[in-house]
Chains A and B, each alone.
Chain A
């Protein structure tokens, strides 16, 4: 089935460690996105990518890094510079052209810093 796969679903990290969240899609979408969701809050954009080997910062990029070496993959690294990394992270993808296409979301990854 086509879709977006995020892993791991749950992740625990000690302070000072970097962690990488995986996001893979087989929808042949050009654009991919990472959002952060805090309890009871909406979604905030971390990074997005419209094409391989290119990506742009979103509203809250500090303390995060991404790569887009393949069209299907858009991993997110939460670095030790992120002061409050405990959150629910959502990956999404969409077609690039036009404004009518919706975003397709993965099931999310919940990161907890111990």
Chain B
């Protein structure tokens, strides 16, 4: 079956630090890949997505590249802000179903 594995948190960084949250996946066929963000007490919001190999998704300074050879979709940001503190979920879509990773909590300190 399909699965998504992401690094366990929490990840604690100082403001303006570089962020990487690792995500690897197992899937048959050619899934689409997503990063969602969840702020406290809220639903999930789409952060970025990539639909084929070598695509780079980007939004709000976050980036992730669809690497088929390493089955990875790592999330990066060059300079995090306190407002980026949230839980980040990596997900893949194969057919009509989304499979989520367990989420990684990011805490950014001033």
Are B100 and A108 in contact, CB atoms less than 8 angstroms apart?
no
Are B34 and A31 in contact, CB atoms less than 8 angstroms apart?
no
Are B44 and A105 in contact, CB atoms less than 8 angstroms apart?
yes
Query: How many residues belonging to A are interface residues under a CB distance threshold of 8 Å?
Result: 26
Range of interface residues on B (Cβ < 8 Å): 20 to 34
Are A99 and B44 in contact, CB atoms less than 8 angstroms apart?
no
Residues in A with CB closer than 8 Å to B34 are 102
Are A100 and B51 in contact, CB atoms less than 8 angstroms apart?
yes
Q: Which of B15-46 contact A (CB under 8 A)?
A: 30-32, 34, 36, 41-46
Known: A42-B89, A108-B43. A103 touches B101 (CB 8 A): no
Are B43 and A42 in contact, CB atoms less than 8 angstroms apart?
no
Are B97 and A102 in contact, CB atoms less than 8 angstroms apart?
no
Are A100 and B100 in contact, CB atoms less than 8 angstroms apart?
no
Are B51 and A48 in contact, CB atoms less than 8 angstroms apart?
no
Question: Which A residues are within 8 Å of any B CB, using their own CB?
Answer: 4, 6, 31, 33, 40-43, 45, 48, 50, 90, 92, 94, 96, 99-108, 110
